[in-house]
Amino acid sequence: MKNLSLNVENALSFLPKGTLDKWAPAVAKAHASLEDGSCAGNDFLGWLHLPSSTPEALLSEIEQTAAVLRQNCDTVVVAGIGGSYLGARAVIEALSDSFDWLKTDRKNPAVLFAGNNIGEDYLYELCEYLKGRRFGVINISKSGTTTETALAFRLLKKQCEEQRGVETARKVIVAVTDARKGAARVMADKEGYKSFIIPDNVGGRFSVLTPVGLLPVACAGFDIRQLMAGAADMEKACALSVPMEENPACLYAAVRNALYNDGKKIEILVNFQPKLHYMNEWWKQLYGESEGKDGKGIFPAAVDFTTDLHSMGQWIQEGERTIFETVVSVETPAHEMYFPHDDENLDGLNFLEGKRVDEVNKMAELGTQLAHVDGGVPNLRISVPELNEYYLGQLIYFFELGCGISGNVLGVNAFNQPGVEAYKKNMFALLGKPGYEEETQKMQARLAK
């Protein structure tokens, strides 16, 4: 089976000759420091060999738990935010029929997401939708104390118990959390929920290949073994022994750092398949939270083409030249569709007669690449043979390793997120959370000015 590939020609053409040779030592050092555990944040490197080291017994346990949920639920709500949510959603949306959620004859339970916002209307409408449904909940939180997730879980737990009875609720609520600490652990132990552990040394945004991502994906009816197999093959393709030019994760880290150093401060992740929208979202978190610190870091933005060519296309073509693009291109769609003949040809599209829709999409992709390169936007292209579990596994591991190496090259701790605490502290102070009395007083004085 061939691997995904990375083409950096249209990015290197923007950089001085010899750029790769210049960055090779820093990249090799950054990669080695992940492997030997000498980099900053080295207590969070558990994701590095998850694909090749996840025990068969854990995969079976996840599949068995998913089977229980699938048998007993028509809807599974995943409560989680950030790294405890985006990976599962990215994989499920990439693999699902776009209109599955509208179908009444579905084979798989609908997997819905909550706990990733505090929108009252969202929660109200979700709870209304769940009325009368045989729903279950997967409560995912590493800390077990995240407000958005805990709020949603409190509502969902109550409704599930009321609708389905406490005994059934205990069967269809599953926790994915820390082994020992946090409210989600305490509650899971007290209620006797089936639970899975998020390893101590795997941070949220690197946790999609743990039960955090695997359980929801299995519930949605997808093959988690193929996902792990793809990731494991990418782990091999990006091993320390593979030279940079042949090692996609190293090459990616080298080129994006070279571009950043050359004034390209924004990376735009691009897809030409709407199913990859949430893969963009997952990637934004992975790179944004890992690299954006110490006053440094490429700003990760994302667009869905061709949709956003009709909105952001103008900025990308002619705005400030501080951007580069990384395109995820799917070689072969799952379905075939051909343009039909029309006798009247009022839309003038008969020149496309007999062509596949994807041929038009691919020409849009090529035309966009040429136009953007002409407009001064360096272009990296990741070619993914097909959108299936195996290649999504490859893509996930490629991006994770590329991120770890990039962050080390940049000189930041890619595995912490001290900046996300600031809003929480203010929110708790404003809400008068016990323990925040001093902050509450200061906040009130500040706002009274």
Q: Which residues are known catalytic residues? A: 289, 310, 424
Q: CB count, 10 Å around CB of 412? A: 20
CA 220 to chain centre: 16
Query: How far from 180 is each of 139, 145, 176, 186, 200, CA to CA, in Å?
Result: 15, 13, 12, 8, 10
3-state secondary structure at position 113: strand
User: At closest approach, how far in Å is the CB of 42 from ligand PA5?
Assistant: 16
* Residue list 358-387, contact with ligand PA5 (CB under 6 A): none
- Partnered with residue 267 across adjacent β-strands are 300, 324
Question: Is residue 139 part of the contact set for ligand PA5 (CB under 6 A)?
Answer: no
- Asked if 151 and 115 count as a contact pair (C-beta separation under 8 A), the reply is yes
Q: Quick one: which segment of 43-51, 64-72, 203-211, 351-359 binds ligand PA5 (CB under 6 A)?
A: 203-211
Options 42, 117, 143, 306; binder of ligand PA5; rule CB under 6 A: 143
DSSP string, 232-250: HHHHHHT-TTS-GGG-HHH
Question: What is d(CA 249, CA 44) in angstroms, rounded to the nearest whole number?
Answer: 19
Residue 445 Cβ vs ligand PA5, minimum distance, rounded to whole Å: 29
Nearer to ligand PA5, 334 or 420 (CB): 420
Q: Candidates 127-135, 200-208, 235-243, 363-371 — which segment interacts with ligand PA5 by CB under 6 A?
A: 200-208
Residues 213-272 within binding reach of ligand PA5 (CB under 6 A): none
Distance set, CA 214 to CA 65, 176, 177, 228 (Å): 11, 11, 13, 9
Q: Among 34, 46, 73, 83, which residue sits at the site for ligand PA5 (rule: CB under 6 A)?
A: 83
Check binding of 291 to ligand PA5 (CB under 6 A): no
Cβ distance 59 to 428 under 8 Å?
Answer: no
**Which region among 60-68, 79-87, 345-353, 367-375 touches ligand PA5 (by CB under 6 A)?**
79-87
Cα separation, 144 vs 115, in Å, equals: 12
CB atoms closer than 10 angstroms to residue 401: 26
Concatenate the DSSP letters of all residues of 135-181 into one string.
EEEEEEESSS--HHHHHHHHHHHHHHHHHH-HHHHHHHEEEEE-SS-
Q: Does 142 bind ligand PA5 (CB under 6 A)?
A: yes
Q: Which of residues 410-439 bind ligand PA5 (CB under 6 A)?
A: 417
Applying CB under 6 A, among 204, 300, 378, 393 the residue interacting with ligand PA5 is: 204
Among 139, 149, 394, 408, binds ligand PA5 (CB under 6 A): 149
141 binds ligand PA5 (CB under 6 A): yes
Tokens representing residue 341 in the block: 């003949």
Q: Tell me: does residue 289 bind ligand PA5 (CB under 6 A).
A: yes
- If the CB atoms of residues 41 and 221 are measured against ligand PA5, the closer one turns out to be 41
**Residue whose beta carbon is closest to ligand PA5:** 204
Contacts 24+ apart (CB under 8 A), 188-192: 188/139
Assess 205 for contact with ligand PA5 (CB under 6 A).
Answer: yes
281 lines the binding site for ligand PA5 (CB under 6 A): no
Distance in Å, CB of 162 to ligand PA5, minimum: 25
Binding footprint of ligand PA5 on the chain (CB under 6 A): 81-84, 141-143, 146, 149, 203-205, 289, 417
